[in-house]
């Protein structure tokens, strides 16, 4: 007998969730199973063009995402996207295909019959707080996170459809249900430098250093994000920042899905922590969470 509670959606993992953001991909799939969500990975999906596609060839950038949207619309299910950059490129392409000159110039046939949702919004709005709360087996009272949304999940709001682009709250709400003491701060959507880590790592270190410093000033003992590039920058720049400033940040950087898995007591969590460059295991042990 089929499970009538199962929520079925299409799923676009993007490139990072099988590589640099593998723990994000694995925790997303684990949490989806716990919440009775069927993630139907798009067949034969292609790269969305992030982060450089739109800066080098605008038409190609739209075509890359348009093909994925066409596949998703054929599947007939709403499309869930964990990666902030992928979400932004897909939403931008949708806007152009439905309202811009690309509507006539690119013969993809996408009609906008599906919703494109970032994973955090989908879990909060479609799965719902009641279902999330029911799955919590071990609350996270020792965690004092700040939620870092970065640039791409909410801006520009005319593309993303974000309700609170200056003060997003979805991850905050989810973390509160998990029992964490979410700290307020004013840097939720400040830039981490993005892909400048390759061309101008000095700029990235300055921006990341500012974020980490202000997170600590807000009383946080960890940072939670939903973007593979943001996580990589905040997680991977801490040693370099320490060498330059003499002050070593010691903030673990988590994907929000990892902490959901932890609170759900999902057995797969032990495989995620070792992939972090700023190892969170000592911190989690001190809090009695592993």
Using CA atoms, how far apart are residues 248 and 237, in angstroms rounded to an integer? 10
Residue 258 located in a structural domain: yes
Helix (H, G, I), strand (E, B) or coil at 112: coil
Domain containing residue 141: CATH number:
3.40.50.11810
What CATH code is carried by the domain that includes residue 59? 1.20.1050.140
Q: Within this chain, do residues 159 and 49 fall inside the same structural domain, yes or no?
A: no
Alpha-carbon distance of 269 to 31, in angstroms, equals: 10
User: 153 and 37, same structural domain?
Assistant: no
pLDDT for residue 102: 83
- What is the maximum alpha-carbon separation in the chain? 61
Please answer whether residues 65 and 58 qualify as being in contact, where contact means their C-beta atoms are separated by less than 8 angstroms. no
Note the pLDDT of residue 89: 95
- Do residues 100 and 15 share a domain? yes
pLDDT of residue 4: 56
Burial-class residue 105 by CB neighbours within 10 Å (0-12, 13-18, 19+): exposed
Q: Tell me: do 192 and 280 sit in the same domain.
A: yes
Backbone angles phi, psi at 140, to 5 degrees: -115, 60
Residue pair 238/216 in contact (Cβ under 8 Å)? The answer is: no
Task: Please check whether residues 197 and 241 belong to one and the same domain.
Answer: yes
Cα–Cα distance measured from residue 85 to residue 101, given in angstroms and rounded to the nearest whole number: 23
Per-residue model confidence (pLDDT) at position 1:
35
Q: Determine the structural domain holding residue 221 and report its residue range.
A: 137-286
Running DSSP on this structure, what letter comes out for residue 123? I
Same domain, 115 and 153: no
Q: How many domains does the chain have?
A: 2
Q: At CA 7, angle to CA 6 and CA 12, rounded to 5?
A: 130
On whether both 147 and 33 belong to a single domain, the answer is no
Same domain, 63 and 153: no
Which residues in the chain land under pLDDT 70? 1-4
pTM of this prediction?
0.95
Q: Is residue 189 part of a domain?
A: yes
pLDDT of residue 245: 84
Same domain, 162 and 236: yes
């Amino acid at each position: 007998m089929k499970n009538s509670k199962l929520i079925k959606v299409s799923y676009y993992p993007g490139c990072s969730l099988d590589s640099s953001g593998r723990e994000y991909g694995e925790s997303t799939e684990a949490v989806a199973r716990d919440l009775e969500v069927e993630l139907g990975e798009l067949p034969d999906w292609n790269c969305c063009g992030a982060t450089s596609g739109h800066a080098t060839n605008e038409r190609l950038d739209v075509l890359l995402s348009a093909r994925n949207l066409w596949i998703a619309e054929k599947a007939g299910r709403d499309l869930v996207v964990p990666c902030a950059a992928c979400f932004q490129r897909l939403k931008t392409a949708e806007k152009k295909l439905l309202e811009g000159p690309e509507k006539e110039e690119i013969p993809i046939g996408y009609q906008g019959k599906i919703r494109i949702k970032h994973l955090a919004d989908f879990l909060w709005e479609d799965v719902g707080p009641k279902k999330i709360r029911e799955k919590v087996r071990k609350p996270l009272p020792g965690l004092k996170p700040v939620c870092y949304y970065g640039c791409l999940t909410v801006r520009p709001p005319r593309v993303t459809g974000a309700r609170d682009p200056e003060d997003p709250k979805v991850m905050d709400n989810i973390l509160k249900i998990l029992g964490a003491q979410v700290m307020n701060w004013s840097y939720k959507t400040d830039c981490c430098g993005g892909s400048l880590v390759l061309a101008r790592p000095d700029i990235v270190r300055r921006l990341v250093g500012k974020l980490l410093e202000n997170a600590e000033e807000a009383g946080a003992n960890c940072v939670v994000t939903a973007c593979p590039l943001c996580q990589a920058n905040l997680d991977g720049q801490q040693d370099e920042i320490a060498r330059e400033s003499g002050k070593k940040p010691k903030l673990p950087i988590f994907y929000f899905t990892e902490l959901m898995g932890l609170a759900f007591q999902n057995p797969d969590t032990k495989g995620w922590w070792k992939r972090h460059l700023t190892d969170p295991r000592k911190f989690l042990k001190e809090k009695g969470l592993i």
